[in-house]
A = this chain, B = another copy of it.
């Protein structure tokens, strides 16, 4: 990559995770779909919080987790997202900065606090997310540092950004700036409910050729293509992007790039503890591989290594030395 200052610049909702245990009965009583992410307003956030068990807080957000993973691999990562000038916002900024991520988006007093997602962990280890977007949904185009975007080899965006209108336009502008500078644009479909909400918008992005690298898991790509079969879904989407990456949990991942296909098995793990962040960290590994020109198959392997690390502990950001785990892939 000529004259880049960052390898991967991630734009996403800046969200602090508020994690609590919950029973299946609690989910039923609340009418929640296990494993899904739903958006809630301030009133519902307050009501649900009052019913939530004791919790702990960790910085999250899909693209934020990816940025932390990119930095943990020793690559140059940046993050763009909106926090409020409050304690949660300070906490969020601290964690990314401490992870080595460049995070210069100023906090904004937009009358809403920093976003938080109440994550209900059921005894089976599944997580059901209730996200109050707060300040995150106010990320304006003016918060973008266009010079930063132009000097980043890859711009990475989360599908969740499509939910609130203001960040959607910021995202579209960021894509424009990156493409004009000849940078790559990567995008994740985020989750199936997100795809259901925004299928048309996502398809326009793809049809117009604005996305170079698309990340999806099997359910998401099937939802996007509207077909309940992996191969048909991949066939329907693969020609719209330079590189398509589909993650398949314990079945590994597959990639398609320029008519060439590759697969990588899931990296071996000891014990599965918490799947949160698996997709975010897979993306981190793959993008670092891409930024370094490793090629499709090694990049998939690097993604698998990062995903395997994050699912062996609670929390969606790496806790062990990813560089060491990646070995010669990032040496």
Contact = CB atoms under 8 A, between A and B. Distances in A.
Interface residues of A, number: 25
A270 to B, nearest CB: 14
Nearest to A50: B94
Interface stretch (A54-62, A138-146, A217-225, A280-288): A54-62
Contact of A94 (B21, B49, B86, B98): B49
A86 B99 CA distance: 26
A18 B99 CA distance: 16
Q: Which of A53, A59, A86, A94 has the most CB of B within 10 A?
A: A94
- This chain's copy number in the assembly: 2
A273 to B, nearest CB: 12
B56 A57 contact: yes
B54 A56 contact: no
A94 B55 contact: yes
A106 to B, nearest CB: 17
B55 A56 contact: no
A120 to B, nearest CB: 13
A315 B94 contact: no
Interface in A48-89: 49-50, 52-59, 68, 86-88
A116 B151 CA distance: 38
A55 to B, nearest CB: 6
Contact of A87 (B58, B86, B94, B99): B86
B95 A55 contact: yes
A192 B44 CA distance: 45
A68 B54 contact: yes
A57 B54 contact: no
A94 B50 CA distance: 7
A53 B94 CA distance: 8
Interface in A21-61: 21, 49-50, 52-59
A57 B319 CA distance: 16
B68 A98 contact: no
A56 B315 contact: yes
A190 B254 CA distance: 55
A54 B98 contact: yes
17 contacts: A20-B98, A21-B319, A50-B94, A54-B59, A54-B68, A54-B95, A55-B91, A55-B98, A56-B57, A56-B58, A56-B315, A57-B57, A57-B58, A86-B86, A87-B87, A87-B88, A87-B113
